Amino acid sequence: MKTSKIIFIALLGSIAVLILAALVNIRLNGRKNNNFQYEFSVIKRRIPTYKVLCVNNSMNITLVHNDSSFIEVTYLKDSIVPDKNVVIREDTLFITDFEKLIHRNVSVRIFATDSLKKIELQHSQISLGKSALKSDQSSTWFSRDTTLSSFKALDIVAKNHSNVNSGIFRIDSLGIVLQHSVANLTAKVRRINGTLSDSSKIYVRQPLEISLKRDSTSKINVNYY
């Protein structure tokens, strides 16, 4: 066999070994990458009770009803703790600038008591897995000027001359109990159910499904728009 052929065959063998080694390395590293899991840290911060929640330019915010008020921030381990974005002044809790690009690996859970009476959102995303609002001799206002997200489900109990009002936002399921109270809701609701008693009134945009019961003193008004 000529020397040139021997060199050529040896060269091909070397290339084949390099290709095989590269494939094995890619396969092993691919498995490692697939099994890699991000590590997160959680900070819980207890705060005073508050009446107003203002969320501005933020995402990954979840509101949870609870017996005490605190904030739970989950963030990527070894990254900067986003503690300057949560401020409470007097009776208002402010959540600001949890931006999508900067804080994409950050989530915030806000635990609120029955003291929460008003929610204001601006260019933000907030969600409720399954939460409840109780209002007793109080006025509650849900307002928003953005359509970036929608609530999942919300239960509202209002009694003793309470008022519940909302701007336009989306919600999948709304349960409401009114006792001597009034609800004026322009939310876009898929399903609504509940009861009205003792001269209660509800004004609601027509949902896809509705199941409301009332006594003879109460009124249900459905707007078809």
SS3 content of the chain, % helix, strand, coil (to 5): 15, 50, 35
pLDDT digit string, tens, across residues 166-212? 877 778 889 999 999 999 998 888 999 999 999 999 999 999 999 99
Select the more confidently predicted residue: 112 or 107.
112
Evaluated on CA atoms 2, 4, 7, 9, the torsion sign reads negative
Instruction: Give the model's pLDDT for residue 224.
Output: 80
Backbone dihedral angles phi then psi of residue 88, each to the nearest 5 degrees: -120, 130
Alpha carbons within 13 A on the beta-carbon side of 147: 4
Which residues neighbour 215 within 8 Å (Cβ) at sequence distance 6 or greater? 196, 197, 198
pLDDT tens-digit series, residues 46-56: 999 998 888 88
DSSP code per residue over 162-176? -EEEE-S-EEEEEEE
Question: What pLDDT was estimated at residue 76?
Answer: 78
CA nearest 188: which of 165, 205, 167? Answer: 205
Name the amino acid, one letter, at 67. Answer: D
Residues 180, 164 contacting (CB under 8 angstroms): no
Q: How many CB atoms lie within 10 A of CB 217?
A: 12
User: In the chain, what are the domain boundaries?
Assistant: 1-36, 40-223
The C-alpha atoms of residue 58 and residue 100 are separated, in whole angstroms, by 8
Which amino acid is present at 158? A
Q: Is 41 in a helix, a strand, or coil?
A: strand
pLDDT band of residue 146 (cuts 50, 70, 90) is very low
Q: What percent of the chain has pLDDT over 90?
A: 23
- What's the pLDDT score for residue 183? 94
- Residue of 138 and 130 predicted with greater confidence: 138
